Each structure stands twice: as structure tokens, then as C-alpha cells.
Structure 1
Amino acid sequence: MTRLILHLDLDAFFAALEQRDHPEWRGLPLVVGAAPGGRGVVATCSYEARRYGVHSAMPIGEAVRRLPPETVYVRPQMARYAEASRQVMTALERLSPVIEPVSVDEAFLDVTGLERLIGPPEAIGRQAKMLVQETVGLTASVGIGPNRLIAKLASERDKPDGLTVVPSETVQAFLDPLPLTVLRGLGRRTAPKLRALGLETVADVRALSLEHLRRLLGAHQGTRIYQQARGLAEDRVEVGRSRQSISKETTFPEDVTDPALLRETLRWAAQEVAYLARHGGYQGTVVTLKIRFRGFETHTRTQTLRMPTADDRTLFRTAWALLEAGRWGARPVRLIGLGLSAWAQGLDAAVQPDLFSGANRSGADWSGANCSDVNRSGATCSDANRAPVTPTETRLNETLDAIRARFGPGVIQRGGQRRRP
């Protein structure tokens, strides 16, 4: 039986959610990301904004120069977006239990054999789109093909609100006219090597022999591109594959040297990351601090915890200890952020032993891969005693999460007075 893989991509997801919840913004250019006049980038934007050449990761200053005065600018509310994403993924499980979310706004589904229950692939695609519309009131673009590559490219063909089916017998006709950059692995560095030979389309790449591609791109990448140009790619959908990390960062409007401001910004980031982790059922064992100075000099430091956590106090303390151990002094900070990764599986989070408890009272067991880098400056990785995460603290987290889920982010938070920068 030929495999049938469906790729679903929510159209301009963050922006579409904002326009759904604010009807007065519908039809207007809308940018989700940094605020005008500040620094930072566009996270995403509505299709009305994309008509002006604005796209994700564009500096906000450039976006403002391109967009008309009536443009709406919104700061991201990741908890809202994560909840809508969860609703969508849960709804799609009614179509096929073999589902692999690959980001907050897209997923692969193995729909092989559903023709007998639902009908032809077009009917399956319409069913997926209907589930999204009924669940969150948004549109999605769907692509269906014999493997992940073809399904993904098919979903990109007719956005927004598109549905493209590529049967196995038409794969080559579908691929050949596409620009060669649709092949995974041909980026800014490698695509010019092929363009220098006068190649522009997938058909042009397909004309090259395997040996020629290997000489140009290396054995591994050359083989991958050779196979992709012929429509050969992975057709497995891995149930349970999840996001690899959760992070939160902010770019300051002006460089910051005030330790209190940096401390409260990290506290905010820890609360956001911890909330998203708890909301998604994750506990992580690696905390990452990211810091960027003037001139875009960027450093990351990681700490591996003894026990997995989704507690904002633990995340904040660990990140702050990493910042202090870095011994960067009063250098002006442009950006600061915090991340959590390396998920633990099947562990009870109700009572969480503390990173600094027990036999380790005199100092933390800093086993993070970058701890040695920090110590080259002469800093130590030890820290003060910390209280464990108690059942009372866990219940408090649950209460704060429930309040936030009902009334939105920013209505209540721990410690400090400073909110999101």
C-alpha cells in the first residue's frame, strides 16, 4: 500500500489568532513581534502585511518602514498560542492517531488507509481543514503526498487555506518546475554552488549524476539532494516526537547595565518558560542562558540539573547563577533569554528534589557542558542553599497557571515588580 502523508500548516498562526480575537483588526496589516521604535524582529505577520514584503525574522525597524500607518503591532502571547495549538493537535487526533507535531503551527499525519473510511485524499484533506476551523476558527493549508517532503511542499503550494494532493505517479511532474532551494539542505551556502553551474530548478538538479553531486556537496549531502530531486524522502510519522526546547528572550530598546533590570527580566523569562513547560507536560534538565552584548557578541551558558523541573524559581535561580558566574561585569546587554530542554520522561513532578539540597549543600553539582567555559574567568559554579519544590509550591504553580489560563498572561506573577520588557 502506498503511504499517504498529510502535512497541515496553520496560516499565519499567531497573527490569525490575534485577528480572530480582535475583529476590528481583520483586513489590516498586523505584525506579531517587537514593538515599533524598539529593537527586535517580526515573529510573524498577517498576509495583509506580507504584501508589503514583510516576513518573519525581519528587523522591526525595516518592517515599520515598509508598512502603512494603519498597521497593528502586537507583542506575542505565547501561552495563548500554545493553548490553541494544543486544541488543534487534539482535534487532529480524531482524524488519525498517528500524528507528529513539528512546531506550534504544523504537524504531519499518517493517513494511509483512511481512503476506505473517509474517501479520496482530497476528502481527507478537507476533513483536516474542517477540524481546524471548527476547533479554533482558523484556516490551514494542507498538503498530501507519499512522503514528508512532498506533503510539506504541497502544503506550501497554495497558501493560505490551500489543499494540494500529489499522487505518487505525479511526484516528478510536481517537483521538476520548483526552484532548487525547495530541496532540504540547499541553503545560502550550498545553493550558490549549483546556481554557479546554471542550475535553477529541481529538474536541473535531477540531471546531475550522483557522483557529480557528491563531488560538489560532499557524500552525505550530495546523496540526500540526489534522492530528494527524485521525490525520495522519509515517510515515517513518529508519534510522540515533541518540541526539543522552550525558550524566551527579549531585546531591550536600549542597552542595559542595571543588574536589577536584568534580574527581573530573567525572572519574567523563567515564569514564561516554566508556564509553557507545565502547560505542555514537559520537565527539563538543561537550563540555558543566552546573552548578547553590543556588536551582536552572543554567549550561551548551560547547566544540567540533577532532577527535571518545570518550576520557575529553579529556572530563574539557575539562569541567574550562570549570569553571575559569567563575570561579564557591567557590559551593556542588548538581549537576554532563558531556555529549558532535555526533557525527562515518566517522572512525577509533584515533589521535586532541589538542585542544591542534600549532600550538595556546599555547592551545586554543575555538570553543564559549558560550565568549564564559565570557570575560565575564575568564577565558581557554587551557589547558596535552596529550598526544595514542595507540594505547597506545586499547588501554587497550579493555581497561578489556572488564573493565567482564564484571564491571560500578565494578570499575576511571582516576585519583583517589573513585567515583561
Structure 2
Amino acid sequence: MHLDLDAFYAAIEQRDHPEWRGRPLVVGAQPGGRGVVATCSYEARRYGVHSAMPIAQAARRLPPETIYRRPDMARYAEVSQQIMRLLQQLSPLIEQVSIDEAYLDVSGLERLIGTPQQIGERAKALIKDKTGLTASVGIGPNRLIAKLASETSKPDGLRVVEAEQVQAFLDPMPISVLRGVGTKTTPRLLAMGLKTVGDVRHQPLERLRQALGARAGTALHLQARGIADDAVQPVTQRQSISKETTFGEDVTDEQQLRETLHWAAQEVGYLARHQALAGALVTLKLRLQPFETHSRSRTLSQRTASDQLIFQTAWELFASSPWRGRPVRLIGVGLSGWEPAACPTQPDLFAASEPQPSTLTTDKLDQTLDAIRDKLGDGLIQRGVRRS
């Protein structure tokens, strides 16, 4: 089962402020400044606004009665944890892949709950009754089918795809739903006369491998037949925490890229601290035209969960990269290489110098900001990003 909370940040704001229900609401940057939309309500989406859209562009499309809110990550993370605890009442095998999205292994629950439809209804009811929020749910024989099923049932929907229904479900879909099909692969497939998943399925494997390469061609061949990974990894086995954003249009403005990366680093840092983790490996992810995906990593001298250190490291990786100046479609940052943050390491008694004050100061500031957010909420305070 794949479960995706609908317009999560915006839905929490509208739940906690009933007077905002039914009105366009944007969570992210404020009009008149720079930055992007983190998420928005479905009322705002009717005006063509979407996540990662520059706030200036969004504000031009939206009516005067629109509500604009700064993200309150502490509150959103708290609600996310509450929902994950509720889902544990259904299945102990839960893989949380983002703050508002998770996979569950629900095999074997038929005797306890009922049909897959009833299992999905139980999950949605648990969330609605306890939090007042809605979720889109997809259930299928593997992760690919479950994810596509939830995507086709948004918002507040439920779709079950049985094993014998997979091909009928996939065949009419456009090739863009397949993983790895982007601006580089799509023209090749269209030139071959392939527009739907069914078209791809009817192609010989060798032809796909010749057109796309052995690895990509094989992956597409399998996906078109509904063959994909069905393993659900519990959150305790999670290897990294990451946050990325896909822009609606390619971005070359470095200030917008800095602000987006800064926001992503704050989400990663807060989630790491919330799970009492500290990481030594910071990874920058970029997607450029024509659908080139690149990553660069740096190992830190000591593990951290500091927003600012994660951001500074990621921005240095970007600034020194050979891709600087090229249009960016996606940007993100990840943290891995874990050690429990609650278990500080013993400093070297004979070290020639003290630990860097900036790192220690940043850690204390993060803790202070977290405490203020947890106590007062409502996005009262957050870090600014220094303009360069």
C-alpha cells in the first residue's frame, strides 16, 4: 500500500484555522520576496499554482483573498509522526519515504481486516478520525503499481489494483508515468512510435535495449509489464534523509536556487534531529536539461544535523560544480552516514585545537529554533538566507 497525504502542509493549516477552509492557501515564501511555493491547497491549484513555483509567479495568478503561510516544520513533523504511529496499528512494516508519504506491507491482513479495499478504507478512516486529514491510497502487488494507483486517486481517493488487473491498469497510461522516462528518453520513445505503456510492453526487449541502453531498456521492459520491487524497508533501515524539489520551469537564478536549497536543508536537518540522527555525508542532487541527473557528495570531519552546515556544504558543492550556470530542473540535498545524535563523541584530550566554534554555535541555534517552533508553532521563526 502506498499512502500519500493530500496537500499535507496546507491541509494542516486549514485544519487548524477553519476560517481558511475553502480559500486558496500557499505554504512557502511570502509575496514580494523571493523563494518558492512549498505546497498549496487544492483551491490554489485551480489557478495553476504548484509546488516549487516561484512565489512571484504564484502571487500573480492567485486572487487577493489567498492566505500565505511560512512553513512550520516542527508542527508538520509532529503530525507526520502521529500518522505513522496510527499506521502501525495496521502493519508493523512501514517505510516512510517523506514527511507525507509511506509504503506499507499489508500482505496477510485479509484475515484480520478484510479485502484490500477494506484495508485501504481502514487506513483512511484512522487518519481522518484522529487527525482530520485526508490521504490518497493505492494498493497493488508492488511499489510501482501502488504508487501509480494512489496518484490516480488524488485527492482523498482509494484505488486497488489486483495482480490480474495490472496490465489493463498500466497499458493506457502515458509513457511519462514510468520511472526514468524524462526529457531525454521521451523523444526517443516517441520517435519509435511509443506513446503509452502498452506500446512499450509490445516492443521486443532487444529493441528497447538498443534504443536506450541495456540497463534503461531492461528497466523499462520490466516496468511496462508491472514488474517492480515489492520490498518495504522499515524506517529503522532508512539509509538517508533527503529533500528535493522539481521546478515547473528550468531555473538559472542562483538566488532562487540558494533559497530552495536552504529550505530543503532545513527540512533535512529538522527531520534528522527529530529522529536523533547525525550524518557525516552531505549529498547534492541536480537534474539538468536534457534530463541529466548528477550528484556530488562530501564527507564532513564530524557528523552533524545542523541546518546551516548541511546547507553550506551543499551550496559549496553546487558552486564548485561544473554544472553551475546551466538551467536546473531539480535540486535537492541529502544526509547520510548515521550516528545517533544523542550520543556525543568524546573529544580528543590532546587535540591541538578546539572544535570549530561555528559548528557548536550552529548546533545550539538549531536546538533553540526547534524549541521555539515546538512551543509556539505557526512558523513564528526560521532561518534567513544571506544573499550573495
Would you say same fold, with TM above 0.5? yes
Q: TM-score, normalised by structure 2?
A: 0.78
**Alignment of 1:146 onto 2:137:** no
**Alignment of 1:349 onto 2:342:** yes
Separation in 1 of the partners of 2:219 and 2:243?
Answer: 31
1:164-194 CA-to-partner distances (Å, cap 9, x unmatched) read 0011111111111111111111111101111
Given candidates 4, 10, 35, the residue that maps to 2:5 is 10
Distance 1:397 1:227, change over 3 A: closer
Residue identity matched to 1:242: R
Where do 1:284-299 residues align within 5 Å?
A: 284-287=279-282
Conservation of the 8 A alpha-carbon contact between 2:281 and 2:298: yes
Separation in 1 of the partners of 2:333 and 2:214?
Answer: 35
Match of 1:367 in 2: none
**Alignment of 1:110 onto 2:105:** yes
Where do 1:319-358 residues align within 5 Å?
A: 319=312, 341-345=335-339, 347=340, 349-353=342-346, 358=349
Structure 2 segments unaligned to the other structure (5+ residues)? 246-252, 286-294, 321-330
Separation in 1 of the partners of 2:367 and 2:268?
Answer: 15
Distance 1:69 1:360, change over 3 A: same
Residue identity matched to 1:407: L
Separation in 2 of the partners of 1:66 and 1:395?
Answer: 40
Conservation of the 8 A alpha-carbon contact between 1:307 and 1:352: no
Separation in 2 of the partners of 1:32 and 1:161?
Answer: 20
Match of 1:49 in 2: 44
Residue identity matched to 1:65: R
Residue identity matched to 2:342: A
Match of 1:386 in 2: 356
Where do 1:67-78 residues align within 5 Å?
A: 67-78=62-73
Separation in 2 of the partners of 1:288 and 1:228?
Answer: 28
Does the residue aligned with 1:220 lie in a helix, a strand or coil?
helix
Residue identity matched to 2:18: P
Q: CA RMSD in A?
A: 4.0
Separation in 1 of the partners of 2:263 and 2:143?
Answer: 38
Structure 1 segments unaligned to the other structure (5+ residues)? 1-5, 257-261, 291-299, 328-336, 363-383
Separation in 2 of the partners of 1:124 and 1:419?
Answer: 44
Give how far 1:90 is off: 1.5
Given candidates 219, 240, 244, the residue that maps to 2:240 is 244
Say which structure, 1 or 2, has more relative contact order (CA 8 Å, 6+ apart): 2
Q: TM-score, normalised by structure 1?
A: 0.72
Match of 1:293 in 2: none
**Alignment of 1:137 onto 2:142:** no
Does the residue aligned with 2:194 lie in a helix, a strand or coil?
coil
Does the residue aligned with 2:15 lie in a helix, a strand or coil?
helix
Match of 1:168 in 2: 163
**Percent of pairs with identical residues:** 58
Give how far 1:396 is off: 9.7
Conservation of the 8 A alpha-carbon contact between 1:284 and 1:340: no
Where do 1:114-263 residues align within 5 Å?
A: 114-240=109-235, 241-242=237-238, 244-245=240-241
Separation in 1 of the partners of 2:52 and 2:364?
Answer: 38
Higher alpha-carbon deviation: 220-229 or 301-310: 301-310
Give how far 1:99 is off: 0.7
Separation in 2 of the partners of 1:218 and 1:102?
Answer: 29
Give how far 1:227 is off: 0.9
1:97-155 CA-to-partner distances (Å, cap 9, x unmatched) read 01111111111101001001100000000011112113321000000011111111111
Give how far 1:385 is off: 4.8
Corresponding residue pairs, total: 355
1:78-111 CA-to-partner distances (Å, cap 9, x unmatched) read 2221221111111111100011111111111010
